[in-house]
Chains A and B, each alone.
Chain A
Amino acid sequence: MIFVHINLPKNYLQFTTLLLVVFVSFWYQIDLDSIGEEEMEDNNQYNGYNPWWYRQMNERELLEYHQKVVSYVCLAFAIAFFATSTCAYSWARAQPGSLVRSSAGNGPYEQRNRAHLSAQFEMLSEIWTFISLCTLVIFIGLSIASLVLLGSEDADRMREKARLINMIIINVWMVVVSLFMMFWGNEVFSVKRRGNLGMGMLYGGCKYFSSLLLLVCFLFANFSFDQREREESTWVGCKCIFCRLDCISEYYDPLLTRSPFLQLQQHMLVCFFR
């Protein structure tokens, strides 16, 4: 049997973030473009999941059905992963800091070139500030652009398909996540008080944040094999920006690989915890 002592989040910010996640997730589930079930009942005798009805669906209905299923399943996963992440974080925070295994002057870390590590640390700190600020500015710009689109001529058409609402919600949510990443990274690089845990979270967060950006890029990518449609599309500008954003995200992994992180966390342990 697995027994884990779950610490409830004591940090106000953490708890608020959790509530916000649930709230936004709930609103994101509202698919304004879906065919009403009453309409389905009239047309196809829809009564929940029915294999016969499933086989009779046309492509549009089938796609919406799949999107709805994927959406609900992913929401359940998201909540489960957030809960597990909170458990892990609460447990790790409650633990005392790891002991520095090296003795004074003889340990392997003492023999390293401290000047080199400090320079690496400063460089990573500057790169982090630049990348996180770029990401934040781009997402704020995209959020403002999507809000401006609400008043455009195409707004009604876009509102019908609920794309605009989804885009605004996702952009705003990405601003929140980018802000979280920026403050978290600055805290680790500037205050230097999180030690092992902070560096670990920064490392893991960076890797999956780049994947998140990649997924958002795919989400907004407007696949079109027809040149005319591509020119008429309102979403081309957004697509280009997201593709550039994806290029920026590609810098995360080569810059923040595991070895400098491990070196830096050991450096921090030696410098700041002794």
Chain B
Amino acid sequence: MSGSLGSLAMLVALPSFIALLTLFFWTVTSNIFGNDNNNDGNGEQQRDWWEDMNREEKRNGLKLIINLLGLCIACGTLMVPISMARSGLQEKFNVGVLAASLFMFGNMCK
């Protein structure tokens, strides 16, 4: 039975992991960090990287990317409790680990 629970958890965790990875790469490759529309109204087209990173949009974009990366890593590590719950050894302990891990990861996503 815990194998079915593990499969259910895998069914939720694996698409989440793929979707989070997709979101991560989508955000990284977006124009948030591109310089094609970098005009802030002062006529300054050329900025060096240091000054550019001081802009609030860039900093928030960086924060978003770091958070997405953290979520991806955490979601990837969920595979460990899932596989242990599927193994069937020490069932209640492993299902407890799985339940708490999923609950906390849900909190992380929120």
Contacts and interface: CB of A to CB of B under 8 A. Distances in A.
Interface of A: 2-4, 21, 24-25, 28, 57-60, 62-63, 66-67, 69-70, 73-75, 77-82, 84-89, 91-92, 95, 97-98, 173, 177, 195-205, 207-209, 211-212, 214-215, 218-219, 221-226, 229, 262, 265
Interface string B1-13: 1101101110110
Contacts of B100: 85, 200-205, 208
Contacts of B42: none
Contacts of A91: 1-2, 5, 95
8 contacts: A59-B38, A81-B12, A88-B85, A88-B99, A195-B92, A201-B96, A208-B74, A225-B54
Contacts of A62: 30-32
B108 A225 contact: no
B110 A25 contact: yes
Nearest to B69: A218
A192 B37 CA distance: 61
A28 B109 CA distance: 12
Q: Which 4 residue pairs spanning A and B have beta carbons closest together?
A: A200-B96, A208-B104, A204-B100, A81-B106
B109 A265 contact: no
Contacts of B68: 70
A215 B108 CA distance: 7
Contact of B32 (A66, A74, A195): A66
B96 A199 contact: yes
Contact of A226 (B54, B58, B90): B54
B44 to A, nearest CB: 14
Contacts of A177: 107
B60 interface: yes
B96 A204 contact: yes
Nearest to B106: A81
B106 A82 contact: yes
B108 A200 contact: no
Interface in B1-47: 1-2, 4-5, 7-9, 11-12, 16, 19-20, 23, 26-27, 30-32, 37-38
A212 B9 contact: no
Nearest to B101: A204
A222 to B, nearest CB: 8
Nearest to B59: A223
B92 A98 contact: yes
A85 B32 contact: no
A197 B57 contact: no
Nearest to A195: B92
Given A74-B71, A197-B96, A203-B100, 5 more contacts: A74-B109, A84-B8, A91-B5, A173-B110, A224-B59
